Structure 1
Amino acid sequence: MPVARFRSVVLDCPDPRALAGFYAAVAGGTPEEHDADWVVLHVPHGPQLAFQRAEGLTPPEWPRADRNSQQFHLDFDAGSTWAELDAAHERVLALGARTLDLEDREKKDFVVYADPAGHPFCLCRIDRP
């Protein structure tokens, strides 16, 4: 029997409302603002994401492991074709993401980005049967 039930992934950020809006545009759902410092996003068919205000946040430096490393990242299925991944790439850039790693994407089947607060996340090409 588990000790507890998984509730959410929480991201520190300078602007919870803005970052929740970014991820709502990426993954779907509607942000629910509890107060100016805490916003929850109920992702359809996915985990709950929460965003809490952290003034002076220093974003992770990807891919550095020696100082302020990423600690974790989020993966998103962007489709099974390169055309779907390319379309998702353009959309997240338009939403304010920035590319961290495009190198060898064909070999890796993913691209690494930073969200507007600097957290790394990946858009992945998923092979479907």
Structure 2
Amino acid sequence: MEDFVPSYELVDAVEYRKLHAATFELPDEWNRQRLEVGEWCKLMFRFPVNRDPEVERLWVRVTGYTSLGYKGVLDNDASNIEFIRTGEVIEFEPRHVISIWPPRSYFDSLTLEEDKGNEGEAK
């Protein structure tokens, strides 16, 4: 008999947002694809057991890169699952990221374009 190895799956935040667009925000694709080592990001973990909550949002500190995205270390414990703990190595893709810390400044490229056209005008 094989040993039981509890597992999890990472929720695809992009697909999740399509189902919950009115109530679920996430960083834009450009920022999700440009995480730096040392930054934290929040991921959604789904556990294949009957627990409440079924999904938990946990912080991961980025420690490196993989061919598909990132490698990081879990930075907090799940509230009701004992088999995933702080320090566990997690591999994930930009599509899994639901939040980035520290917060980044986001700008509207249209605003920058409008400002370029008004460079000679007095403000």
Q: Same fold (TM over 0.5)?
A: no
TM-score normalised by the chain length of structure 2: 0.26
Q: Which has the higher helix share?
A: 1
Larger radius of gyration: 2
